[in-house]
Amino acid sequence: MLISTPTTVADALFELGNENTLAVGGGTSIALMLKNRLIEPDRLVLLNRVPTLSGVDERSTDTDTVRIGATSTLLQLMHSPLVNSALPMLSFASSRVGNPRVRSVATIGGAIVHGDPRQDLPPVLLALGATAHIVGPSGERDVPLSEFFIGFMESAASEDELVTEVTVPRVQGQRTHYTRFTPGSEDDYPTVGVAIAMTLADDRSVKDVKIALGGVDSTAFLATEAAALLIGNRPTDELIAAAGKSAASRANPSDDQRGSEAYKRAMVDVWTRRTITACLSD
Amino acid sequence: MNVKMTLNGEPFSAETPSDGLLVDVLRLNGFTGTKEGCGVGVCGACTVLVSDVPVASCIYLAALAEGQDVWTVEGLTEKDSALLNAFVEKEGMQCGICTPGQVVSAYALGIENPTANEEEIREFMAGNLCRCTGYVTITESVRAYLASK
Amino acid sequence: MSRVDAALKASGHSRYVADFAVPNMAHAAVVRSAMAHARIVSIDTRAALNCPGVIAAFTAADVSATPYGRALIDTPLLARDKVRFVGERVAAVVATTRQEAEYAAAMIEVDYEPLDAVFSLSEALADGAPAVHEQPWAYMGAAAKEGDPINLIHRGTHGSKEEVDAALANAAFVVDHHYSTQGVHQGYLEPQACIADYVSDDEVRIWLTTKAPYRVREMVGKCLDIDPKKIELAPITLGGDFGGKGSPQDAPLCTELSRKTGRPVKMTLRYNEDLTATNPRHPAEIDVRIGADKEGRIVAASMVASLNAGAYGAFTPSVPAPHGAVEIPSYRVPLYYSEANRVYTNTVPRGNMRAPGAPQGTFALESAMDELALAIGIEPAELRRRNLLVTGEADASHVHWIEHRGLETLEAALAAVVPIDPPKGWLYGRGIAIYSRPTTSMASTSLRLTPIDDGCLRVETPLVETGTGSHTALRQMLSNQLGFAPQKIEIVGVSTNDLPRDAGAGASRVTAGLAAVVDVAAKAWMNRSRDEAIVVEINEDSGIDVGSYTVQVAQVAIDPSTGQMKLLELLNAVDIAAIINPLAFQMQIDGGATMGVGFATLEDLDEADGQVWAANMGEYKLPSARDVPTYKTVKVPGAIGLGTANVKNIGESTTPPVAAAIANAVFDATKCRIRDLPITAEKIYQALKGQQ
């Protein structure tokens, strides 16, 4: 197996154009798959030496968007002054992922490209309305995350493409809350993850809201119907209850060690309601 | 392939298969202080420091370690006697197999958040499993270490 | 002074088996069965033999056909003719590196003809069930007889079922419930590992992750027809045992591979192999019936347990009833019937794990006691008060302990509990559970004491330090009785060649065994004629039955909307004699309770269709530092211990009662009774919904 260590995006793309080649961010998912003989690549392209892929653009004067390099680690997100002030839900979620070792090396790009529906960052980024910037042999494109998670362990970026950046809109007065429900061991994937970003109008009706769920389908997803129930309305107990039910009916969870399908569905209802309420509390 | 790094402050190079893991590079070249437990990055017995952050060496490709500043339990306890003393005095171990990982993580916490309170210590160290002690003496060892800084 | 091994362990300089290498060493990897029960039609090793670095490949035809085991000798080195569980060793590859061996092993093709399999106890015991072993009575050491149910390894009974049935029929109050517990693993963080160096029939050296080296050399010797005294188990540091490292593990196979290849052979298991194919705890199904009179005094009780022993019974405990899962050591039970069935199934073979049988049995018994209290209409603690044994009384199996301190330990526990407020909106519950256990009075070990320069003493011991601090306790006891300051005593672990005996760590015998040998050593030291080394050994049963009580009080909070449970506090009241090393003692209490928390709420091998599905630590959840409750310890001193050191066991005392303490607390909070482990949020949620 060959190892490539490009220092520019162009070089990285060139290497990725080879047959049976995989890109490596923090490498934890790849290392596990190699150990279990689930993959047998001919080449790995390490991205850790491409400086333009890494880091949060702290000095950006753009007040509308936060730009995050794809190989930024969760630890960097936790410590980024900009992410902490503009996107506290993201820095919070990053700090809850796994353990310090994981956070040292796991990247935001890896988190979305790997496509594991149990992970924390995908629903958080979905709720924040993030976009993935993809570069490949046929050019560049922006893919909103709502179109990025196309299936179980499958993303919109193909094997010869690179996600170079994740951009997240900065929204004035946005209220966010991420709930990671771990009824068993705290050191585990969540049974249900609920990420909500909401803005209220002056009359405290919901101007906009995104409700994203993790761990309860083959991908993280937006509960758009649940959100639609709230938009334009005052979030009464009845409406919140209806949103919870709607999110639960949209969910498609599987039985596993973290819960049965029925239990997870019931928990989607409970935690969607509770997370909405958390967003609303001042 | 050959991988080169700074290991415990000294230049180090070793041969490794290209899909080799850092834990094997270390253990096969005399640095057996780093242990392999669960092999999937969960238990923390394999924790080493790579450029000032804790890393699970059992799922860290050796190739990623190229050119980095790597520290193992042997090097860190030699460099920082307060670290060793804290775990010895508070007896933060029983069988000792998780201890190297606990020690390296404690050192990493000292870099990340040297004024961590009880809750923050527990949060940070929770990624290092122990089957023997019930965690009380480990937390006390970490607290004693941070207090010494 | 800190423990003898603290600096070595904290600096990474302690050497465990996987850390060793010997010259010219080769590496082995094993091919494991993918089938639960199947005839082996053929094994094709050709592709493996062509892989880089491969020295040889082996199937059953190439290795010794003699099985091995402890009492029951039924385990083959490699599966012969058929496989009996998913994960059974079918073939082995030896290569120049571990990676090469594993790569080649994956290339071996095995052709199977599936056979009907049995996975559950009821399936295995049903009429006409497929036989896991065709002639189980034919094995050396078998308790099974021709004509028994084909998959029954052993049925032990105590007492008269008819008498108990009659007494229960006439009792004022009776409870009759079924409890079940799941498969769990010892969870030591050090995977099993072995290096075997066969030089000749007169010289074999083994490094093994074992806590019972003398037992291992016997078993390897018998299996491979080598004089056990020519097999040397090298001294090692052990990375946790908890009962799972008492078998010879892969030492017989590695020794045979070394013999066949002419090189030392090392094999280190990957953790998924350890989790799925070594020797975890027996899942159990237990029926408990207890009857009481109008005054709430027990008149009779019955415990019937079936333990799933898996595909081989070699390391399944076969002590006679009523031990392990069907013990009632703490209460006055005038009439008692117990039955313990150990059953073959096509699942991973089971072994010992901290207090074998007791976590399962105590969950059932102490849950049933609370259910009886409810039926009578008295507080759970009051039912205990009326039935705990007092000094002078015999327990349910007619055994007399030197004293019973359950009542004072119960009162101490209750007096120390400080209620904790649950989070807002959560339900609060409190539960108790009691467990007692004897310190083994059998002592069998040896020491060599050698005076060295500067008034120091070098002490050699073949006892393996499994982590409990046994070497440190030894140093302290010798210091107390021989008059050397602890820092003048050096404790050195030595091989089985260097000293005559040791029974192996475990079975609540270590500290008392050391106390007994230190007593002998002290006398010998006083009486020595010259200033040279002396060897002492002991191999005797003092016959004194000393027991220890543990009373646990669990406080829990439950979120009624989700079933999520927070363990607010677990209080351990322990009845103690002398404590040799307070920190190590405390860690046994906390560590033991943590293992109980895992058993009660988190750990589950998730067995289905004969397979272990929780095959790595991402799925098999050991309690982390965030999962443990606050531990409060109440010591009740003044007990009688063994030896001059006046010691009792603690290591297996705090694991068994946890599940019942929590189940009883959950009932207190929710009025839901959960009778199967682990107690999960989902089970609580469903139970609460069922109530509405």
Overall number of domains in chain C: 3
In one-letter notation, the amino acid at residue A145 is L
One domain, residues C414 and C327: yes
| Angle between helix C380-387 and C406-416 (nearest 10) | 160
Contact A165, A12 (CB under 8 A): no
In three-state secondary structure terms, C624 is coil
pLDDT in tens, C118-147: 999 999 999 999 999 999 999 999 999 999
Tell me the pairing of strands B53-56 and B47-50: antiparallel
Q: Which chains touch C (3 or more CB pairs under 8 A)?
A: A, B
Cβ–Cβ below 8 Å for A34 and B19 = yes
pLDDT in tens, C357-405: 999 999 999 999 999 999 999 999 999 999 999 999 998 888 889 999 9
Q: According to DSSP H, which parts of C424-486 are helical? A: 470-482
- Dist. CA A217–CA A244, nearest whole Å: 16
DSSP A28-69: HHHHHHHHTTS---SEEEE-TT-GGGSSB-TT---SSEEEEE
Mean pLDDT value across residues C480-507: 93
One domain, residues C480 and C359: no
Contact C236, C206 (CB under 8 A): no
Cβ–Cβ below 8 Å for A263 and C623 = no
Asked if residue C319 has pLDDT above 60, the reply is no
- Dist. CA C129–CA C143, nearest whole Å: 19
For residue C654, what is the nearest residue in chain B, using CA coordinates? B134
Instruction: Please list the residues that pair with C32 across neighbouring strands.
Output: C89
Q: According to DSSP H, which parts of C388-452 are helical? A: 406-416
Select from C591, C617, C625 the Cβ nearest to the Cβ of B42. C617
For domain B80-147, the CATH architecture is: Orthogonal Bundle (1.10)
Q: Of A33, A121, A119, which Cα lies nearest the Cα of A72? A: A121
Tokens for C58?
């082996």
Chain B residues closer than 8 Å to A21 by CB = none
Distance of CA C182 to the CA centre of its chain: 15
Q: What are phi and psi of C113, to 5 degrees?
A: -115, 110
Suggest the residue from A186, A240, A256, A272 to mutate for an interface test with chain C (most C CBs closer than 10 A). A186
Cβ–Cβ below 8 Å for B1 and A3 = yes
Cβ–Cβ below 8 Å for B36 and C191 = yes
Burial (Cβ within 10 Å: 0-12, 13-18, ≥19) of residue C658: buried
Select from A186, A266, A271 the Cβ nearest to the Cβ of C627. A186
- Strand-by-strand arrangement of the C427-439 sheet: C427-439, C546-558, C565-575, C630-636
pLDDT per residue of chain B (149 residues) written in tens, 0 to 9:
999 999 999 999 999 999 999 999 999 999 999 999 999 999 999 999 999 999 999 999 999 999 999 999 999 999 999 999 999 999 999 999 999 999 999 999 999 999 999 999 999 999 999 999 999 999 999 999 999 98
For residue C607, what is the nearest residue in chain A, using CA coordinates? A257
One domain, residues C416 and C351: yes
Q: According to DSSP H, which parts of C345-441 are helical? A: 358-376, 380-387, 406-416
Select from A30, A46, A101 the Cβ nearest to the Cβ of B41. A101
Asked if residue A282 has pLDDT above 80, the reply is no
- Dist. CA C161–CA C167, nearest whole Å: 10
pLDDT in tens, C36-78: 999 999 999 999 999 999 999 999 999 999 999 988 999 999 9
Cβ–Cβ below 8 Å for A24 and B61 = yes
C-alpha distance across the termini of chain C, in Å: 58
pLDDT in tens, A17-26: 999 999 999 9
For residue A4, what is the nearest residue in chain B, using CA coordinates? B63
- Dist. CA A199–CA A218, nearest whole Å: 28
One domain, residues C329 and C355: yes
Cβ–Cβ below 8 Å for B134 and C3 = no
Cβ–Cβ below 8 Å for A257 and C614 = yes
Q: Is residue C155 part of a domain?
A: no
Mean pLDDT value across residues A170-182: 96
- Dist. CA C450–CA C536, nearest whole Å: 11
In one-letter notation, the amino acid at residue B142 is V
Q: Of C108, C177, C254, C27, which Cα lies nearest the Cα of C660? A: C177
H or E element at residue A157: none
One domain, residues C583 and C645: yes
Q: What are the residue boundaries of the structural domains of chain B, listed by start?
A: 2-74, 80-147
- Dist. CA A207–CA A227, nearest whole Å: 11
Distance of CA C590 to the CA centre of its chain: 17
Q: What are the residue boundaries of the structural domains of chain A, listed by start?
A: 2-47+63-169, 178-280
Measured in angstroms, the CA of C631 and the nearest CA of chain B are apart by: 9
Q: Of A174, A185, A237, A26, which Cα lies nearest the Cα of A111? A: A26
Q: How many residues does chain A have?
A: 282
Query: A2-47+63-169 domain in CATH 3.40.50.1000?
Result: no
Select from C8, C15, C594 the Cβ nearest to the Cβ of B134. C594
Tokens for B146?
């941070």
Select from A257, A260, A267 the Cβ nearest to the Cβ of C619. A257
- Dist. CA A88–CA A90, nearest whole Å: 5
C-alpha distance across the termini of chain B, in Å: 40
Query: B2-74 domain in CATH 3.10.20.30?
Result: yes
Tokens for A189?
């994937």
Select from C602, C685, C686 the Cβ nearest to the Cβ of A184. C602
- Dist. CA A132–CA A158, nearest whole Å: 13
Chain A residues closer than 8 Å to C623 by CB = 185
Asked if residue A54 has pLDDT above 80, the reply is yes
Q: Of B71, B69, B76, which Cα lies nearest the Cα of B26? A: B71
CB pairs under 8 A between A and B: 76
Chain C residues closer than 8 Å to A257 by CB = 604, 606, 613-614, 619, 621
Cβ–Cβ below 8 Å for B126 and A99 = yes
pLDDT, position C490: 96
pLDDT, position C317: 64
Contacts with C109 (C-beta within 8 Å, 6 or more apart), sequence order: C43, C44, C47
Q: Which domain holds residue C92?
A: 18-115+192-268
Q: Is residue C333 part of a domain?
A: yes
pLDDT, position C545: 81
Q: Is residue C141 part of a domain?
A: no
Cβ–Cβ below 8 Å for A270 and C562 = yes
Q: Of C328, C339, C319, which Cα lies nearest the Cα of C165? A: C339
Q: Which chains touch A (3 or more CB pairs under 8 A)?
A: B, C
Percent of chain B at pLDDT > 70 equals 100
Tell me the pairing of strands B10-15 and C534-541: unpaired
- Dist. CA C679–CA C180, nearest whole Å: 11
Cβ–Cβ below 8 Å for B66 and A5 = yes
One domain, residues C568 and C664: yes
- Dist. CA C270–CA C280, nearest whole Å: 16
Mean pLDDT of chain C: 95
Measured in angstroms, the CA of A172 and the nearest CA of chain B are apart by: 31
- Chain B residues whose C-beta is within 8 A of a chain A C-beta are 1, 17-19, 21, 39-42, 44, 47, 50, 53-56, 59-61, 63-64, 66, 105, 108-109, 112, 124, 126-128
Question: Residue C323's pLDDT band (boundaries 50, 70, 90)?
Answer: low
| Residue showing tokens 């069988």 | B95
Contact C413, C431 (CB under 8 A): no
Mean pLDDT value across residues A207-219: 97
CA distances from C376 to A90, C174, C298, C328 (A): 55, 9, 11, 20
Cβ–Cβ below 8 Å for A184 and C623 = no
For residue A39, what is the nearest residue in chain B, using CA coordinates? B19
Q: Of A78, A92, A79, which Cα lies nearest the Cα of A128? A: A92
In three-state secondary structure terms, C183 is coil
One domain, residues C558 and C585: yes
Chain A residues closer than 8 Å to B34 by CB = none
H or E element at residue B4: strand B2-7
Cβ–Cβ below 8 Å for B122 and C240 = no
Instruction: Please list the residues that pair with C226 across neighbouring strands.
Output: none
- Dist. CA C64–CA C78, nearest whole Å: 9
One domain, residues C499 and C578: no
Mean pLDDT of chain A: 95
Mean pLDDT value across residues C524-539: 90
Q: Of C449, C434, C169, B18, which Cα lies nearest the Cα of A27? A: B18
Asked if residue A63 has pLDDT above 90, the reply is no
Contact C448, C525 (CB under 8 A): no
Instruction: Please list the residues that pair with A198 across neighbouring strands.
Output: A175, A209
Percent of chain C at pLDDT > 70 equals 99
Mean pLDDT value across residues C505-521: 88
- Dist. CA C269–CA C254, nearest whole Å: 12
Query: What ipTM score was computed for the predicted complex, to two decimals?
Result: 0.98
- Dist. CA A120–CA A192, nearest whole Å: 10
One domain, residues C355 and C371: yes
One domain, residues C407 and C479: no
- Choose the final residue of a domain: C526, C541, C556: C541
In one-letter notation, the amino acid at residue C395 is D
- Choose the final residue of a domain: C488, C519, C541: C541
Between A59 and C494, whose confidence is greater?
A: C494
- Dist. CA C273–CA C293, nearest whole Å: 51
pLDDT, position C318: 59
One domain, residues C263 and C216: yes
- Chain C residues whose C-beta is within 8 A of a chain A C-beta are 106, 561-565, 601-602, 604, 606, 613-614, 619, 621, 623-624, 626-627, 680-682, 685-686
Asked if residue C320 has pLDDT above 80, the reply is no
Contact A78, B120 (CB under 8 A): no
Mean pLDDT value across residues A180-205: 95
Question: Residue C28's pLDDT band (boundaries 50, 70, 90)?
Answer: very high
Contacts with C285 (C-beta within 8 Å, 6 or more apart), sequence order: C121, C178, C179, C180, C305, C306
For domain A178-280, the CATH architecture is: 2-Layer Sandwich (3.30)
- Dist. CA C488–CA C465, nearest whole Å: 20
Distance of CA A225 to the CA centre of its chain: 20
Cβ–Cβ below 8 Å for A257 and C604 = yes
Is residue A239 left, alpha or beta, with left meaning phi > 0 and alpha meaning psi from -120 to 50? alpha
CB pairs under 8 A between A and C: 46
Q: What are phi and psi of C659, to 5 degrees?
A: -60, -40
Q: Of C416, C407, C418, which Cα lies nearest the Cα of C383? A: C407
Chain C residues closer than 8 Å to B99 by CB = 9-10, 12
Q: According to DSSP H, which parts of chain B are helical? A: 22-27, 73-79, 81-89, 99-112, 118-125, 136-147
Contact B109, B124 (CB under 8 A): yes
Asked if residue C324 has pLDDT above 90, the reply is no
Contacts with A90 (C-beta within 8 Å, 6 or more apart), sequence order: A77, A83, A121, A124, A125, A128, A168
